[in-house]
Structure 1
């Protein structure tokens, strides 16, 4: 498997900034290479939705393509059009739409559109007619997740209508895809059941006269743990950014991945504090001895979960602390201890590279009862991104 280094040597965060999200684009490229090795003969669609899980849409997309991804995936059409406007020419699939949406720009820009309803088929047909071009669609089927996707009884009608429109050259059915409910639990019976259902739908589509070039079902977890689900194309998302989709089965480095984002801040003040002092709103935390308090200028408006109050891990000068008291909108406090030599301006690492001994997005997820996907994706727009490796060819 991949032999790329599992740690990144980050330079200190730029001075003068309250906080910064450092994004290692080489890690993104290397992670895609590792996923491509796992995928075997299947192509890789790097999912860059939600501003590339908070890492930055355009820089991350380009880094993923450098790493060997041949497709890009987004949820919303605006994201796909942003990629096209920036000159990205690789195939792009957008799959989450609403009634009344105009697909004209998508058809004109050669953006592939996910279709799971009769109304969306009709809207794609209208866009094709308006542009005089053949629209590229992927049929999304619900194989058991109970979320987006077509299922019986409408599925038969969608397949029939798709075949009719394809015969008229209004559209081309490029792919068929679905999504797992339990890919992060590879032994769960729904995994095999969904694969069987998916293969049945592909056969049903072919019987209706469709022959899609790409079948895709595997997300990050299935890409790493279930080769039988790779088919023609895999769609890794969180693993592109070096996070493990199956933390109970392995850390990023166990899969040849490394975290691409490091979230850091500069202490805005450090002050001596007596025992018995309440800290932050509601005095949910009280000092038990004379100590030093460090103020971190980040809060829930920047994506720091308020549920991290009292538990969020932060590293200062190689030592790990928990958030002291409540996370506020713009700031939170650390109890650094009486022996701390920290001063204002010192770096505080909220999360970074686990193999380098830093707190991780997974640590934050476990502390607040969520998943690592949410921790990185919620980092706010007020936090500037600093890109490492942006000049790579």
Structure 2
């Protein structure tokens, strides 16, 4: 064996380098490294430290459990958490120095009722129709927020929203909507603090969306946020997913492969078995992906099963114990996670965040 049977090897140097590249390209006052979903599957604590080293000065997570994990690891950089259930312990949040993303009048009331002064970023819905204060409530929210700020019960640290990345006209319409909310705050003499609306795609595509801070998510990990952005920056993939070959056999022409015989061999060939399947996060629907074994890039054939899939090595010399690389750095000859996402009919975000517990993470 060349290491763990199944391994996602994570390069913190790549995350640091990607952060430095993004900061050099987009010179906003602040930069948030988004490390939700366990750092997009790369490890939240390691990713946070690497991004901070590369020049990020804020961290973003979805929920409070993720924020408390960073604090427990000794990370004291500003952290914003923005997706909350009804059980919101604002005292614990304030004591940990975590900023709350506020998406409703009820959440603002909870924050204002805390025995501690709570730092908040107000999230407004500018057209994505997910979390965020609806425009019909902006006037009331601005008035209540002004009262809470002047009473000293909350500290307005920032205001934010999120773009759909559908089309330039749609993004511009959302930016215009965001400006309307900023005007609502100014009408009650509130300073919005840090304004942020751009994530990775908008940060690279829409300078008008930069404001005071951009939120770098998938780009930190060396993956393009949208297909048209692939190759626009020399980002380095931070994850290399591989597994040992656990079986090799020579089969004749006409051999059926895996469940449903989606594939039958057309000539005598060598098949190799890779112990990764949909229980590990490799989509069952994958068709047309490849892996690298040594110097050979060989196709995945047949149905991906729960624990394994088959590749057609042809006449290549493959042995049990050889390493099969699903995705990594194309500059080193590896297939990319985008290649696999295209083959599975999904996006790279899903693949790196869905890896199962059997896949050992090795952080370098």
- Partner residue, 1:293: 271
For residue 216 of structure 1, what is the aligned residue in structure 2? Answer: 196
Q: Which residue of 2 aligns with 1:248?
A: 228
Q: Is the 8 A contact 1:224 1:255 kept in 2?
A: no
2:240 and 2:352 map into 1 onto residues whose CA distance is 9
Matches within 5 A, 1:1-393: 15-126=2-113, 128-129=114-115, 133-182=116-165, 185=167, 188-251=168-231, 254-308=232-286, 310-337=287-314, 339-388=315-364
| Runs of 4+ residues over 3 Å off in structure 1 | none
Shift in Å, 1:267: 0.1
CA distance in 2 between counterparts of 1:348 and 1:289 reads 23
Which whole-Å CA distance do the structure 1 matches of 2:255 and 2:331 have between them? 36
Contact 1:42 1:230 (C-alpha < 8 Å) held by counterparts: no
Deviates more, 1:138-147 or 1:273-282: 273-282
CA RMSD of aligned residues (A): 1.4
1:108 shift after superposition: 1.1
Give the match for residue 391 of structure 1: none
More displaced, 313-322 or 59-68? 313-322
The offset of 1:223, in angstroms, is 1.3
CA contact (8 A) 2:124 2:135 kept: no
Q: Which region of structure 1 is more displaced relative to structure 2, 369-378 or 291-300? A: 369-378
User: Structure 1, unaligned stretches of length 5 or more?
Assistant: 1-13, 389-393
SS at match of 1:218: coil
1:9 aligned residue = none
Q: Is the 8 A contact 1:38 1:223 kept in 2?
A: no
Task: Measure the CA separation in 2 of the matches of 1:192 and 1:46.
Answer: 24
Aligned to 1:307, the other structure's residue is in SS state coil
- Residue aligned with 2:162, SS: coil
Distance 1:267 1:168 in 2: 64
Give SS of 2:285's match: helix
Task: Report the Cα offset of residue 197 of structure 1.
Answer: 1.4
3-state SS of paired residue (1:212): coil
1:225 and 1:141 map into 2 onto residues whose CA distance is 21
Deviations 1:142-177 (A, max 9, x none): 111111111222121111111111111110111000
CA contact (8 A) 2:90 2:118 kept: no
- For the residues of structure 2 that align with 1:47 and 1:328, how far apart are their CA atoms? 32
The TM-score normalised by the length of structure 1 is 0.90
Contact 2:125/2:135 (CA < 8 Å) preserved in 1? Answer: no
Q: Distance in 2 between matches of 1:248 and 1:212?
A: 33
- Name whichever of 260-269 and 275-284 sits farther off: 275-284
Distance 1:212 1:90 in 2: 21
